[in-house]
């Protein structure tokens, strides 16, 4: 009897040891898999940064001849003569900044209104239907917008809008000149249409991040729907909305094909929105394949470098603002 009890106790004490021996290989495989996954994801993340750094390095290297030749004069000069070897980026900087900023000023109120309609005004089913349609507009290729701009919008501007502006507001420097159709005004309108879906989608996400308790508190105090939006919703999401607008600005600055098709591609610096103009992406797209010298190619690469740096800074700033709103929303929910 005593022998049986000893053997039973021996078997019971051996079971945990046997179980631990079985789980050790599984645990080792799990830990090994976690380590491999961590190393792979780290490699992929740093690969993206490495590609970005390599692009900046290569573009800087290709731009060095123009940087050494012109220095800061390249940014402030408006001469662009490939035959004489004189290059200045000011007309292209001017065209990019003016078209993008004015398009943003027109697009932001429309986008905020559309986002408020989707999140606060529209019934549930209608909002669920409109939101994907807005996001779908952002997926349309830019060349489609460009074709529509050339075939529909530019002739309409030339025959209707621009003559009206010249007749009634021609004394204003912004609306003087001839009705060309393809012009800075056409580029502004096409960019406005293209960035509205982006700003609307991001603004919608920002508004959805506003804590429900904040809305309920305003309603409990007797606020109307508009007062709730004005007092509780918009102030809370203003940083994120600003980030959405800046992200739209980055999209507008870098737009190439649609703007190239409707802006007229003339290196002018004019206050008139009815005159043709040029942008940084447009001059790169039009001239890079037909460069006449190494200095010409280097000047175009320097424009590309400026465009890349500006776009990176603008997008980084926008992401930081949107992240700050998301973090505040998580803190409020906690």
In the chain, which stretches have pLDDT less than 70?
Answer: 1-33, 325-326, 328-334
Q: 3-state DSSP call for residue 159?
A: helix
Strand partners of residue 81 = 86
Helix, strand, coil % in the chain, rounded to nearest 5: 80, 0, 15
The pTM is what?
Answer: 0.82
| CA 111 to mean position of chain CA atoms | 14
pLDDT over 70, % of the chain: 87
Helices (H), 209-269: 212-220, 225-228, 234-254, 257-262
Q: What is the pLDDT of residue 24?
A: 58
Torsion of CA 109, 112, 115, 119, to 10 degrees: -130
CA distance 179 to 272: 11
Torsion of CA 96, 102, 108, 109, to 10 degrees: -170
Q: How many residues does the chain have?
A: 334
Strand partners of residue 277 = 264
Structure tokens at 80: 């662009």
Helices (H), 153-233: 154-156, 162-169, 184-208, 212-220, 225-228
**Beta carbons of 262 and 150 less than 8 angstroms apart:** yes
**Beta carbons of 67 and 299 less than 8 angstroms apart:** no
Residue ranges covered by each domain of the chain: 1-70, 73-333
Write the CA distances from 48 to 17, 45, 52, 54, integer angstroms.
47, 5, 6, 10
pLDDT in tens, 97-116: 999 999 999 999 999 999 99
> Maximum Cα–Cα distance for the chain, whole Å?
117
Q: What is the pLDDT of residue 325?
A: 64
Q: 3-state DSSP call for residue 130?
A: helix
For domain 73-333, the CATH architecture is: Orthogonal Bundle (1.10)
CA distance 106 to 110: 7
Q: What is the pLDDT of residue 1?
A: 47
**Beta carbons of 134 and 200 less than 8 angstroms apart:** yes
CA distance 31 to 37: 10
Strand partners of residue 87 = 80
């Amino acid at each position: 009897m005593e022998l049986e009890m000893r053997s039973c106790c021996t078997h019971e004490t051996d079971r945990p040891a046997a179980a631990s021996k079985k789980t050790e290989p599984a645990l080792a495989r799990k830990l090994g898999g976690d380590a491999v996954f961590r190393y792979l994801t780290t490699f992929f993340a740093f690969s993206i940064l490495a590609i970005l750094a390599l692009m900046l390095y290569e573009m800087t290297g290709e731009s060095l001849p123009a940087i050494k030749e012109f220095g800061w004069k390249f940014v402030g000069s408006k001469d662009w003569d490939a035959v004489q070897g004189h290059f200045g980026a000011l007309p292209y900087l001017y065209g990019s900044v003016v078209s993008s900023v004015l398009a943003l000023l027109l697009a932001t109120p429309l986008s905020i209104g559309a986002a408020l309609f989707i999140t606060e005004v529209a019934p549930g089913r209608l909002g669920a239907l409109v939101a994907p349609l807005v996001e779908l507009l952002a997926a349309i290729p830019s060349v489609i917008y460009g074709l529509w701009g050339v075939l529909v919008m530019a002739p309409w501007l030339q025959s209707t809008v621009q003559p009206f502006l010249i007749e009634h507001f021609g004394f204003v420097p912004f609306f003087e000149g001839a009705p060309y159709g393809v012009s800075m005004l056409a580029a502004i309108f096409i960019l406005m249409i293209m960035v509205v879906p982006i700003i609307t989608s991001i603004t919608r996400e920002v508004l959805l991040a506003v804590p429900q308790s904040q809305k309920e508190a305003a309603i409990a105090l007797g606020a109307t729907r508009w007062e709730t939006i004005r007092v509780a919703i918009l102030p809370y999401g203003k940083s994120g909305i600003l980030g959405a607008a800046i992200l739209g600005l980055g999209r507008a600055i870098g737009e190439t094909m649609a703007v190239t098709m409707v802006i007229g591609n003339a290196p002018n610096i004019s206050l008139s929105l009815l005159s043709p103009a040029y942008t940084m992406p447009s001059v790169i797209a039009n001239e890079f394949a037909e460069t006449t010298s190494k200095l010409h190619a280097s000047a175009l690469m320097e424009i590309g470098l400026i465009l890349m740096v500006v776009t990176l800074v603008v997008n980084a700033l926008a992401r930081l603002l949107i992240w700050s709103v998301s973090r505040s929303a998580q803190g409020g929910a906690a």
